[in-house]
Chains A and B, each alone.
Chain A
Amino acid sequence: MNPRGKYKFELYTAEGTDNSSLAFGNLLTLCKAYLTDRYEIEVIDVFRQPQRALEHSIRMTPTLVKLAPHPKRTIVGTLSQTQRVLAALGIERAAG
């Protein structure tokens, strides 16, 4: 079963691009629906913090990094297919 621990996300975005806004919206919707109060999202704008993107080898935007729980997962894209995202993050629908 799913650990009841908190989900910690980093979302790397590029300000002003449609993909990034879409991804942020999709992530928020998903979290609200499946991880009520069990999530933490940090949004990092690569234009403002390029050094950070470089350190974490972020090449594409938007990129979602799940830092916790283990294992770390990285998903690139607008996160538009909710089912695939859930599977990748290891979130079961039933849990919500």
Chain B
Amino acid sequence: MKSFPSRKATSAKAATGIIGFDEITRGGLPHGRTTILAGGPGSGKTIFAVQFLTHGVRRCGEPGIFVAFEETPERIVANLQGFGWELETLVPKKLYFMDAQLTTELLQVGDFDLSGMLASLGSVAEKMGARRIVFDALDVLLAHLPDAMARRREICRIHQWLLSRDLTGLITAKAASEDTSSLGLQPFGFMQFMVDCAVMLNHRVVLGVSQRNLRVQKYRGSSFDENESPFVISKTGFDVAIARGLGRADVKVSTERVTSGVGRLDTMLDGGYYRASSVLITGSPGTAKTTLCGAFAEAACRRGERTVFVSFDSDGSEVARNLISVGIQLSHQIKRGLLRMISARTIIGSSETLLVKIKALAKEFGARCLVIDPVSTLSRAGNELTAHGVAERLLDWCKTDQITLVCSSLLDETANQQNGGTALQISTLADTWIHLNYLVQSGERNRSLSIIKSRGMAHSNQVRELILRNSGITLADIYTSGGEVLMGTLRWERESALSSAGAISKTESGIKRSRLNAEEAELRVRLQSLRTELQAKRAEKQLLAHIAENRRSETARSLRRVQKLRKADPFVEESSS
């Protein structure tokens, strides 16, 4: 052999341009090698193949050849018109279609081989410098070969031919049964040992909803995601859903806060939602989920951030009109071109399809914020099995693309709050979970709001009353007394009762204070007069002592005088000892 298969570096990949598939295979199909694509009828093999070729022509500068065994090239081109690939502009210089159908008048006697075709292809490939080639519906051709030996021989022939020309080959083949989980069971099973990459497509109907899945079964010399990945055929071609590329497992985490659109809710959240986080608002019907979503959307637009509002329940213009009643002016933001309302009620199909459409719209609009109201629609009948995966991918995608996601979810009246209530189990995935509830009390129905969880925030544990006024949305503290929660009118009554009681007690204490003041003043006066009296008494006592002294000395002097006059003996003190 002239060329040894492994002369080309194994890392080289031929990008397919198929969203998701290039991530699964870390870059595309093996360059210069052969890939088999197997799937049931209508599983999208031809679309995949043609998309692979057109991407090669337009983006990689690699002209391609399409060998059609089953349909005429004209029909294939006509069928694929809807994808907007403009194939007619590429044919035949950059994209060559070869009709390789076996006509009915062709008689077959004895064994034959494909050398003729390969020789023709070789000359075409050389002339146009083709780098990619697709053999579509090879099984149709193989069915004409007499035995397994011949089939194997011809596959080998094609394989060797591809290798020697260093073409990136894609062979599509119909799977005999719907179960394409294993290629080995297929009649052309031996192909899988020859090719370097094997991709399975399958198309199942689960509870009346169509589900398409793609799986890479093998890929020599490369790592790949081994799980089945759902895919849809969208307006622009194939779109494979992937949870998250391994390369970007750690997305950039932001500490930036964005407002919820309700001032007091921001306070409860210790500053607002995190940028690129996912917020879930749950509640029964009529608990103002849409209103909170609208408040967030309006606030985002006011910051100048492009926002997509997907509404499943009602028309976009209806939502805008209804929210005017609570002072949220969405129509203004729509006019400014910052807000896009999407009525998704009209989108039918599996949850996978919905997600793809939402992603496409958001990408097209360049959205930084996304509102989905309500996200629980994704788990409609027939979608239960995939809905959880879809929700997971929705959240992952938003995180990766740094989109702040606010979605509401309808809680079944009967569902309890513990299990999150939704089949999506989105509550465990969401970063912030706000729960809205009703409290029916003394003839009133009042809305309450509480934060069940909010990752990475010192959030409030309080239940607040959600009040909708035409001036906007506010939250009010609620009263609990004696194990009873007071909201609405009862809360107002309690508030006014408390304020009047406060006024009374204030007056009462004023009165008491002035009375005490008066008493104090009186006591002070009395104290003063007593002190004066005491001084007077002291003075009187001193005077008395003085007089007594005077009198005694006077008496002694006069006695001595008398004695002197009488010439008496000197006076002797008797009481000396």
CB distance from A75 to the nearest CB of B (A): 5
Proximity string of chain B (103-144) to chain A, C-beta cutoff 8 Å, 1 when within and 0 when not: 101111111111111011011100000000000000000000
B398 at the interface (CB under 8 A from A): no
Which residues of A lie under 8 Å from residue B103 when comparing CB positions?
74
Whether B123 and A59, one on each chain, are in contact in the complex, defined by CB atoms closer than 8 angstroms, is: no
Whether B109 and A80, one on each chain, are in contact in the complex, defined by CB atoms closer than 8 angstroms, is: yes
Whether A61 and B107, one on each chain, are in contact in the complex, defined by CB atoms closer than 8 angstroms, is: no
Whether A59 and B122, one on each chain, are in contact in the complex, defined by CB atoms closer than 8 angstroms, is: no
Whether A75 and B116, one on each chain, are in contact in the complex, defined by CB atoms closer than 8 angstroms, is: no
B80 at the interface (CB under 8 A from A): no
Known: A74-B105, A76-B106. A19 touches B120 (CB 8 A): no
Whether B116 and A74, one on each chain, are in contact in the complex, defined by CB atoms closer than 8 angstroms, is: no
- The DSSP consensus for interface residues of chain B is mixed
Whether B110 and A78, one on each chain, are in contact in the complex, defined by CB atoms closer than 8 angstroms, is: yes
Among A17, A59, A81, point to the contact of B109 (Cβ < 8 A). A81
Whether B110 and A60, one on each chain, are in contact in the complex, defined by CB atoms closer than 8 angstroms, is: no
Which residues of B lie under 8 Å from residue A76 when comparing CB positions?
106-109, 112
Whether A50 and B120, one on each chain, are in contact in the complex, defined by CB atoms closer than 8 angstroms, is: yes
Which residues of B lie under 8 Å from residue A20 when comparing CB positions?
115
CB distance from A30 to the nearest CB of B (A): 11
Residue from the set B103, B106, B115 with the largest chain A CB neighbour count within 10 Å:
B115
Which residues of B lie under 8 Å from residue A19 when comparing CB positions?
110-113
Which residues of B lie under 8 Å from residue A36 when comparing CB positions?
none
Whether B116 and A14, one on each chain, are in contact in the complex, defined by CB atoms closer than 8 angstroms, is: yes
Whether B107 and A88, one on each chain, are in contact in the complex, defined by CB atoms closer than 8 angstroms, is: yes
Proximity string of chain A (59-72) to chain B, C-beta cutoff 8 Å, 1 when within and 0 when not: 11111000000000
A4 at the interface (CB under 8 A from B): no
Known: A50-B120, A50-B122, A51-B123. A59 touches B111 (CB 8 A): no
Known: A14-B115, A54-B123. A80 touches B110 (CB 8 A): yes
Q: How far is the CA of A85 from the CA of B59 in the complex (A)?
A: 50
Whether A88 and B120, one on each chain, are in contact in the complex, defined by CB atoms closer than 8 angstroms, is: no
A31 at the interface (CB under 8 A from B): no
Which residues of A lie under 8 Å from residue B423 when comparing CB positions?
none
Among A58, A77, A81, point to the contact of B120 (Cβ < 8 A). A58
Q: Please name the residue on chain A nearest to B122 by beta carbon.
A: A50
Whether A47 and B119, one on each chain, are in contact in the complex, defined by CB atoms closer than 8 angstroms, is: yes
Whether B119 and A17, one on each chain, are in contact in the complex, defined by CB atoms closer than 8 angstroms, is: no
Whether B116 and A77, one on each chain, are in contact in the complex, defined by CB atoms closer than 8 angstroms, is: no
Known: A50-B122, A54-B124. A73 touches B116 (CB 8 A): no
Q: How far is the CA of A50 from the CA of B103 in the complex (A)?
A: 20
Proximity string of chain B (252-277) to chain A, C-beta cutoff 8 Å, 1 when within and 0 when not: 00000000000000000000000000
Which residues of A lie under 8 Å from residue B106 when comparing CB positions?
74-76
Q: Please name the residue on chain A nearest to B117 by beta carbon.
A: A59
Whether A54 and B110, one on each chain, are in contact in the complex, defined by CB atoms closer than 8 angstroms, is: no
Subset of 13 A-B contacts with CB under 8 Å: A14-B113, A14-B116, A17-B113, A46-B119, A50-B119, A54-B120, A54-B124, A59-B102, A61-B116, A63-B116, A74-B103, A74-B105, A75-B106
Chain B residues proximal to chain A, CB less than 8 Å:
99-100, 102-103, 105-117, 119-120, 122-124
For the complex of A and B, list the 10 residue pairs with the smallest distance between their C-beta atoms, beginning with the closest: A14-B115, A78-B110, A77-B110, A50-B123, A46-B119, A80-B110, A61-B116, A54-B120, A59-B117, A50-B119
